[in-house]
Structure 1
Amino acid sequence: MFFSIIIPLYNRPQEIKELLETLTLQMYKQFEVLVIEDGSVNDAAEIVQSFTDKLDIKYFVKANEGQGFTRNFGFERAKGDYFVVFDSDCLIPADYLQIVNDSLATNWLDAYGGPDDAHPSFTATQKAISYSMTSPFTTGGIRGNKKGIGQFHPRSFNMGISRQVWEKAGGFIITRLGEDIEYSIRIHSMGFEIGLIPDAKVYHKRRTNFLQFYKQLHFFGRARINVYKFFPKGLKAVHFFPAVFTLYIIFTIIANVFCWPIAVLCNVIFAIFILLIFFHSWWKNKSAKIAFLSIIAAFIQLTAYGLGFMQDFWKRIVLKKS
């Protein structure tokens, strides 16, 4: 199996340097790397050039179109039997490609996704954000979980597609706002086999502070409505949970301000939720500091997603604006 690794890049030269360093350590050597600069002002040309003696690497520069169409640009130029997509803010374990190759040899998948985790070198905030994105109390643990709710959808920070998928299904038709979910649903609807390779994990930095994290999750909430416009049946009850949680927070604040009796029950429920996150994160990360930050990250994640979801639900579904 020969792999083509596709990495869209936008103004993140230091990130690509760290990612490429991890690729030089891969145990499985049959791969090429395509780095596509998507209209960056702060490009990574010199950094990528420094890896030409360590990797089979190609560097392209194109006008800014967004990550979805930039991946398509890479697909069109890839030589591999299988295309692997990473975000530039990922670190790849040395056995990643070996795990994928061995898994596909024994249990073929036309497209796959893998989980993400926090690297020991990440900051406490990054580890808390990573926890909130994989916790059973926030996302339900459905990202990278074999027992997730409903059909598994690979996410573009860590996903792969066979050349046959590319030739039949084409590439991304949305460049932002849920492009990977739409692509996964479309691939599945065409009869291809999609699944999780649970050991093919990457270390995903995500955002380095809570403000950036809020903006990202607000965008994710809006993206879910964008995917709905393509696949209405893909919108499930679970996708409304962050919006319900956000409304519950607003209701609890109002109940406390006006001293409604139900405020006591609302506060108890919130206290239980906070304690569950704190002690679960403490157990998982072995750090009280990360556990405390995980509470903040969880509330930001749910409310930011909920507000973005409600914003575009109201605008694009209720008011039917484009």
Structure 2
Amino acid sequence: MKLNFSIIIPVYNRPKEIDELLESLTKQNFADDFEILIIEDGSDNSSEEIVKKYVNKLDIKYFFKDNSGAGASRNFGMLHASGNYFIILDSDVLVPPQYLSEVKIALDKNDTDAFGGPDASHESFTDLQKAINYSMTSVLTTGGIRGKKKSVGKFQPRSFNLGLSKKAFEKTKGFADMKVGEDIDLTFRLWKNGFETQLIEKAFVYHKRRSTLQQFFKQTFAFGTARPLLNSKYPETAKLTYWFPSLFLVGIDISILLVILGHWQLIAFYGGYFALIFLDSLFHNKSLKVAFLSILTTFTQFLGYGLGFLQSIFISKNN
């Protein structure tokens, strides 16, 4: 069956980012036609005028709806799409020219009803955005679960760069009514319904992510709160590794207490770990500033996820 791609992009108050994303989509090295659906999720700062700039360059449709969250907006887009394979992108990504071609090549070779792709850091990103990208994608911080092929088993696509067949959407009804973790929830339901997922390594996007440490903390905190809920809903998917950020924080507290008592061994372990983070980031980013910031963003990531995870555990046990 011929693949007909519909690109679904929910947006909330991000017209500048939509402009950058659409500009990147005009540069696709892709012979087939594809459509783009922009779903404005009740924004105060509309992207409609930006979209109008591209009507003669792209097959693009614009929809404005009441605010209901990203998951419901993605479902809305898929319901109104004409393609038979949907590609979900976040509004804060840039797409390299070969993206759609790589997706088509991979799906022609291995026809799965869902896929996910990794993210990378673009040279135009700020030093902090590059450090955040490092912390979210490094094997040393996330174990490679977000797109390092050698480090993952059964791949769980993430909604910033995700593909879904129309057949799988109709069977699963798409994203659940969850504020965070809805992409992982969808993956688990895909598997339960017999659909397969795959990582397409070459179908990466440049993901700008959050631009401040405070925003990054709030995002990772939300990720942490979602995981115990998913573990409760799908107990067969729970893993000990999901506790690591929380245990990491507890270990830091214990190491500080031990230093007061004259024992330096544990704090030395943490010092060694962050030194490794620095060196690895320096190797990948070729920047001392980004390497230093990577220590800060990695700690922020563990702090946000770990605290969110513990809060969610505590609330669930008291309900």
Structures share fold, TM-score greater than 0.5: yes
Distance apart, 1:228 and its partner CA: 2.2
1:227 maps to 230
Show the 5 A alignment for 1:1-322.
1-28=3-30, 29-256=32-259, 259-262=260-263, 264-316=264-316, 318-319=317-318, 321=319
Q: Distance in 2 between matches of 1:287 and 1:30?
A: 40
- Deviation string 1:91-113 (CA, Å, 9 cap, x unpaired) is 00011000000111111111000
**Range with greater deviation from structure 2 (186-195 or 245-254):** 245-254
For residues 208-262 of structure 1, what are the alpha-carbon distances to aligned partners after superposition, in whole Å with 9 as ceiling and x for unaligned?
A: 1111111110111011122223212222111100000011122222333xx2233
Identity over aligned pairs, percent? 49
Q: Which amino acid aligns with 1:155?
A: R
Gaps (5+ residues) in structure 2? none
RMSD: 1.1
SS in 2 for 1:154: coil
What is the letter of the counterpart of residue 177 of structure 1? V
- Which stretch of structure 1 is more off in the superposition, 236-245 or 136-145? 136-145
Amino acid of the structure 2 residue aligned with 1:14? K
Q: Which residue identity is paired with 2:104?
A: N
State whether residues 112 and 154 of structure 1, in contact with CA within 8 Å, keep that contact through their aligned partners in structure 2: yes
TM-score by length of 2: 0.97
SS at match of 2:139: coil
Runs of 4+ that moved beyond 6 A: none
SS at match of 2:151: coil
- Deviation at residue 73 of structure 1 after TM alignment: 0.3
Partners in 1 of 2:200 and 2:81 — Cα distance? 22
Gapped runs of 5+ residues in structure 1? Answer: none
Checking the alignment, whether the CA contact within 8 Å between 1:33 and 1:58 is kept in structure 2 is yes
Instruction: Tell me the CA shift for residue 175 of structure 1.
Output: 3.4
Q: 2:66 and 2:233 mapped to 1: Cα distance?
A: 26
1:149, distance to aligned residue in structure 2 (A): 4.2
> Aligned partner of 1:281: which letter?
S
Is the 1:213–1:301 contact (alpha carbons within 8 Å) kept by the matching residues of 2? yes
CA deviations on 1:137-163 (whole Å, 9 max, x unpaired) are 210122112233442100000000111
One-letter amino acid matched to 1:26: Q
Counterpart contact for 2:252–2:267, Cα < 8 Å: no
How many residues end up aligned between the 2 structures? 316
